[in-house]
Chain A
């Protein structure tokens, strides 16, 4: 197999040949020359019928003989010392199999919702009822839940000592670790630097400065976090988990209980949403696997712990809020010379409130850049990675500032972007979007409505995203081709809703020329071999190359059987088709070919090699491709009532090779819907004087409903980069990065004034209009 080879890579009309060096045994990556027949076509999910008929069994649905249901008593106080705890009375309640304390006298609780005690009982409502009999006395302490309050001198201190930064596989790969020293509740963290931004700002003839804020956003997974634990003797366990990382759960569970990882089997047949929050065995703010495991041991029965909706909001993570001071320096002609972002955000008692790479790494033509992020600790549930961690916050502030500067300079915001962004694909997307969205005409219409001061306004905006291909090499995919012709593809990866199983079947079908429906996919179980955590948008780019490589190995073995059977000199002369394998007029059917397999089956194991190319541009600090995206949004606003709707979104995304157009579009739709909720309505509300979350439900925590979804059109700007054997990258995260920023920019276009705070509610629209009116009456122009 090839060492050095040439690949034809590129996008749109920009195709070129590059030289790449491949490890031995690595097949030549599919490039622009390869004709795909299955990969890239829209393929309905292979498990769709199970899901829509309700037959699919999620962790919530697991029922076992003797199963007990757990419930957790949680701290009602944002900060308190435990002065007494007695779970004895709970153990005596009806149906209770075990009751355990999770804190001791003298322990300090630092957010409302923290674990205090737990009970397992024969029915969920009996477990909840038994919690009421647990005796706990608390000594409430001063607390702080609002970010700005926590930043003030003398505010109650959340952590007395340094805080260990906790990372999961869903954090942005390569992001710097926070390392500053804690001062009060503030700990300076990540920074990204190029040149000397402060000096450049001082010298800039045009300066723009504004503070942008974003809200705390909860993941709101439809299937809440949860596990079912069954001990198989003292040293082994089976864990059913609603997780994005089967092996992450396995390793953490093993570590929690001092077991050999190989003695822990983790199963996730179906799962209902994670968005970054379901990486470990425990959740970020509740030790759910430890609790279930301890209860199961104490009761000597399997235990199920599924959180309820309020717990899901309060203690399983969230996207940190942010307060971002953005300063831009420019020349009079609109050349950006400096970017300086100072960001503060709260991840509650946890860490990781950085703001991603939009500011530092998109506008690479700006010479001087400084982006500083700091964590602010508050007495609230800890944050955790959330679909494109940091990036949605960062994109909102940076992309808003670009638009506001363009307005100040009298420039078109797309021109300002194009002048400072060197990524050829993003530039292509912006030009394409400008044309497809009818940008110029819509901007003119918006300006006209503003000038006439109409009651109903429309406006358009755009914003861009940056992400990387973070596909990894750790997965091992097994393919079995049986003597009966059956093809089975196995891997311990979980399908978190993206549809990886379907794409695996497509890749195997492509290589082996078999129908997709005849490929059997087995996933969702640690026994099926090393998978990959679904975070960083890397599932498809980690798994599909491994599937292809395994299938190619198996096919090579089949080819040798065919060579003998058809009596040809070289396997190169074989032609593979849907009918089987042929030479000249002779054809050996698939069934007959497989009958020649010696023993039960051919078994091959494949893995993805390291990245082999990154055309046309690599992600900063990585050898892998940088993924570009741009979105355009239209909004409609009633200026009398402040009502604001996002009516249309045009999304242009680079996603490497399109593997399954249907599930790909689904991912992009999902990203836009999430981004629309983030832009306009989702927000965790904490009571400042009680320190508790007020909207821990899906009624007052307002996620997009079907009627709030804009009309979405998607343009796939496919890029063949040569990165791996299939050419896949990820799309889950990039697709949600620019949405809120594009919507905010559209609001700015409609009103002529920018709303600098998410979510952009009717209240904030009315406030912005009032301030605009006051400013114009003040005659300061």
Chain B
């Protein structure tokens, strides 16, 4: 790691200004967990860290309010209430919040990384962290993400790589919160203008992330200097959700696969407003819309869940070393659907 300076602007527009000027040498620091790892690994050597502690907020609450949005953007999905969390809210705070309907978020935040990291890592930093791929993180290798001409997972060891939506890069998106928030139909507020007064846009989570066909060198849409300020989750009446991951280790480890689901049970016991997401299977948090479509309006059953899991993985294509992720993702998704719907898991 090379020496650097650190600055702590008071306002979000000042923060943006500092980075926009020299995007190669200046970078935001929230919790710094991912950023310092990149610096220690020698894949980035920024000169100035722009600390967000005073410019953004932490804290999570249940509210009826919605943010002001510019006239030409879509507002939040309609809901009686929203969970609203500032970008600096830590994973530990998200895990402990105990808010209705958003168990998937509590569980994703509570199982990520380690207690120490969860006390430091933030919502914004978690969503915008860079991939953990062992080719990308090796300073001596030039992979597609770092301007090389091919994804090294194709000829290399791909046990932790993508089975869905891969190509030309086969990384998996690292964020557990993204998996949960995608299932929860969340929306992010971003700060892209320098005028603080005018309404800033919101982005549905699936629009925040950029797949490798679009641009393999990045994972999200924000330009250098743009900030993620807040996340909104619509809380529908009788909403339920669940999240689960498979890891080789019980702590201090990344998921091999993760799954999250959100739904409502109507009075007849049918599932409504179903959303299903998978994580660590694709370069972006993966929206398993075929599975959701299959479940919509149906009553929960083990058989149906197995069908939905098959549908979610129907397009999966394994590389040399990651075929195991297909049955694993199916098994995991079945469990998550049981838990989200309340249908008891078989022994």
Contacts and interface: CB of A to CB of B under 8 A. Distances in A.
Contacts of A260: none
A640 interface: yes
Contacts of A687: 152, 156-157
Contact of B252 (A688, A705, A761, A762): A705
7 contacts: A76-B140, A641-B257, A645-B250, A685-B159, A705-B253, A761-B248, A766-B331
Contacts of B132: 699
A752 to B, nearest CB: 17
Given A689-B156, A692-B138, A702 B248 contact: yes
Interface of A: 76, 125, 129, 452, 454-456, 638-643, 645, 680-681, 685-690, 692, 694-695, 699-700, 702, 704-708, 761-763, 766-767, 770
B250 A762 contact: no
Contact of B250 (A685, A689, A705): A705
B326 to A, nearest CB: 9
A705 B249 contact: yes
Contacts of B247: 643
B317 interface: no
B328 A129 contact: no
Interface residues of B, number: 37
A686 B256 CA distance: 19
A694 B138 contact: yes
B332 A641 contact: yes
A673 to B, nearest CB: 13
B287 to A, nearest CB: 21
B335 A641 contact: yes
Interface string B100-137: 00000000000000000000000000000000101100
B324 A640 contact: no
B195 interface: no
Contacts of A692: 138, 140-141
A700 B138 CA distance: 12
Top 3 A-B pairs, shortest CB-CB distance? A640-B331, A763-B324, A707-B250
Nearest to A645: B250
A681 B347 contact: no
Given A685-B134, A699-B252, A763-B328, 7 more contacts: A455-B345, A640-B335, A641-B257, A690-B141, A692-B140, A708-B250, A763-B256
A638 B248 CA distance: 12
A762 B246 contact: yes
A641 B328 contact: yes
A640 B332 CA distance: 7
Nearest to A640: B331
Contacts of B159: 685, 763
A762 B249 contact: no
Given A690-B141, A692-B140, A705-B251, A685 B157 contact: yes
B155 interface: yes
B342 interface: no
Interface in B142-190: 152, 155-157, 159-160
Contacts of A695: 134
A638 B155 CA distance: 31
Contacts of B140: 76, 692
A706 B251 CA distance: 8
B134 A694 contact: yes
Nearest to B135: A694
Contacts of A641: 246, 257, 328, 331-332, 335
Contacts of B327: 642, 766, 770
B2 interface: yes
A233 B331 CA distance: 68
A127 to B, nearest CB: 13
Interface in B246-273: 246-254, 256-257
A690 B248 contact: no
B14 to A, nearest CB: 30
B246 A642 contact: yes
A99 B345 CA distance: 64
B1 interface: yes
Most B-side CB within 10 Å, residue of A687, A692, A707: A687
Nearest to A695: B134
B3 interface: yes
Given A454-B347, A641-B328, A763-B324, A694 B248 contact: no
Contact of B156 (A455, A456, A688, A763): A688
Contacts of A76: 140
Interface in B319-347: 324, 327-328, 330-332, 334-335, 345-347
Given A645-B250, A707-B251, A762 B152 contact: no
Given A705-B250, A761-B248, A766-B327, A694 B157 contact: yes
A355 B329 CA distance: 37
Contacts of B254: 699
Contacts of A704: 249
A491 to B, nearest CB: 38
Contacts of A681: 248-249
Contacts of B138: 692, 694
Contacts of A702: 248-249, 253
Given A642-B324, A687-B157, A690-B141, A707 B249 contact: yes
A690 B152 contact: yes
A456 B252 contact: no
Given A681-B249, A766-B328, A689 B155 contact: yes
Nearest to A704: B249
